[in-house]
Structures are given as structure tokens and as C-alpha cells.
């Protein structure tokens, strides 16, 4: 049985996430770190099982959304974006946005070592919270709560160049549809040695499918791959 003070604390958190638990003990469990369990004699369970569940729930929410939102993205690109969203760094930031750390039940040692601000602990608690919401309700409810915040993160990473390896995307596509890999060729170099510019073409089955320029061979190849992806209508043309 939760104390009146703890119940009031958790009421604030429920208001923040926009969901009222049918069984508030599930919420309390999601916020109980193993260090707290180890230091208390009363029968308690930590949040690790909910953390396990929440990781899958968040993965499913992100995956389902992206399949609909980005029909032309390859499996490899979708995996990279999902890994960037459902990871410690991103989940820690989302946890801090709702001040999740202040609601955690920690052991004295963990408390004194700054556990409420530890990235790994906050990210795990955020996953556990998602698992508890799902367990207390259903996937649709969890989707309504978490998709709005996750959608912003997905959009950010989907538009970030470092998560769009165009060469890898093109290779995945050509291996699947042409049973071969792209061939990149430098067709032009210009400029002084310290400021070279390269022009590269990419061939698929000996046909030029893309052309790109860059200050390095790698950059030019990425630009050529992007051009090829556009020619295959895998990325919208400018």
C-alpha cells in the first residue's frame, strides 16, 4: 500500500504524461530501482522487467510509425533511425523533460552517487514507465502517449545526414533488385591539391544512375548515391 505522500507524488507524474494508472502500484514498480529493493526488507520488485517490456513497446511504436511515414526508406535506414531514437541518449533527454529522476526510488548508495541524474538510470526508468503504461492499459494508449514525443525525435534523425548513408541505402537496393552492387568512378578532378573537387558517377548494371560532386571522393560518392536514389524514386526529387 502506497503512502499518501507517495500517491500524491505519483499523481503529479501521471498528470505530466497524461495517463492515470488503474493500478498505481505498477507505476511505483516502474520507478523502483534495484538498489532500493536491495536495501529494504519489505517485499518489493524492481523495474527491470518493465524496462525489458518498455524497450519493445517503444521499438514497436517507432517502427510502426516509420513504416507508414517513410515508405521509401530502406530497412537499414529505418533501423539506424530507430536505434538513434530508442537509445540511452535520447531516452535520457525525454526522461529529463518530465523530471522523471525525482520520482525514482533509489537505495542510499545510488542516491548519494547522483543516481537521479545518471543517464543510464534515467533511460532505463523511461523504458520501464512505457512498459508499465502498456501493461496497465494497451498498445493504443501507449501509442497515444509516446508517439507525439517520439515523432519529434524521429523527424530530427530522419533529416540528419549522418543517419542517411546513401551509399549503404543504394547498395541494399541494388543487391535486392539487381543482384549486384553499384560501381563508383571518378570522372573529373579540378582545383589545387589543397582544395580539390571531385566528380563521381555511379553505375548500376553499367548504366550511369547518378552523378555527384564533393571536396573528397567519399563526399562525391555520397552525392552520386543520393542522385541515384532519386533516379529510382527512393528519395523525393528536389
| Other beta carbons within 10 Å of 186 | 12
DSSP element (H, E) containing 17: helix 4-17
Answer whether 187's CB lies under 8 Å from 201's CB: yes
Q: Give the active site residues.
A: 55, 127
DSSP secondary structure string, 148-198?
Answer: HHHHHHHHHHHT-GGG--HHHHHHHHHHHHTSS--EEEEEEEES-GGG-EE
Q: Max CA-CA distance within the chain?
A: 76
Query: Phi then psi for 39, rounded to 5 degrees?
Result: -100, 5
For the purposes of burial, counting CB atoms within 10 Å of the CB of 231, is it exposed (0-12), middle (13-18) or buried (19 or more)?
middle
Amino acid at each position: 500500500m502506497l503512502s499518501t505522500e507517495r500517491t500524491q507524488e505519483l499523481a503529479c507524474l501521471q498528470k505530466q504524461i497524461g495517463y492515470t494508472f488503474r493500478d498505481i502500484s505498477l507505476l511505483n514498480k516502474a520507478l523502483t530501482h534495484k538498489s532500493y529493493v536491495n536495501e529494504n526488507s519489505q517485499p518489493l520488485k524492481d523495474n527491470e522487467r518493465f524496462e525489458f517490456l518498455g524497450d519493445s513497446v517503444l521499438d514497436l511504436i517507432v517502427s510502426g510509425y516509420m513504416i507508414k511515414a517513410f515508405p521509401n526508406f530502406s530497412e537499414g535506414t529505418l533501423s539506424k533511425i530507430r536505434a538513434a531514437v530508442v537509445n540511452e541518449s535520447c531516452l535520457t533527454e525525454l526522461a529529463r523533460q518530465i523530471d522523471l529522476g525525482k520520482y525514482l526510488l533509489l537505495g542510499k548508495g545510488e542516491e548519494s552517487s547522483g543516481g537521479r541524474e545518471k543517464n543510464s538510470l534515467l533511460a532505463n526508468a523511461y523504458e520501464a514507465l512505457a512498459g508499465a503504461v502498456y501493461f496497465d492499459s494497451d498498445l493504443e494508449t501507449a501509442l497515444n502517449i509516446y508517439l507525439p514525443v517520439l515523432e519529434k525525435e524521429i523527424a530530427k534523425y530522419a533529416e540528419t545526414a549522418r543517419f542517411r548513408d546513401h551509399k549503404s541505402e543504394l547498395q541494399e537496393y541494388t543487391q535486392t533488385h539487381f543482384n549486384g552492387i553499384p560501381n563508383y568512378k571518378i570522372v573529373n578532378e579540378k582545383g589545387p591539391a589543397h582544395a580539390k573537387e571531385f566528380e563521381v558517377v555511379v553505375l548500376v548494371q553499367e548504366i550511369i544512375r547518378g552523378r555527384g560532386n564533393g571536396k573528397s571522393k567519399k563526399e562525391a560518392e555520397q552525392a552520386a548515391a543520393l542522385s541515384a536514389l532519386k533516379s529510382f524514386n527512393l528519395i523525393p526529387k528536389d
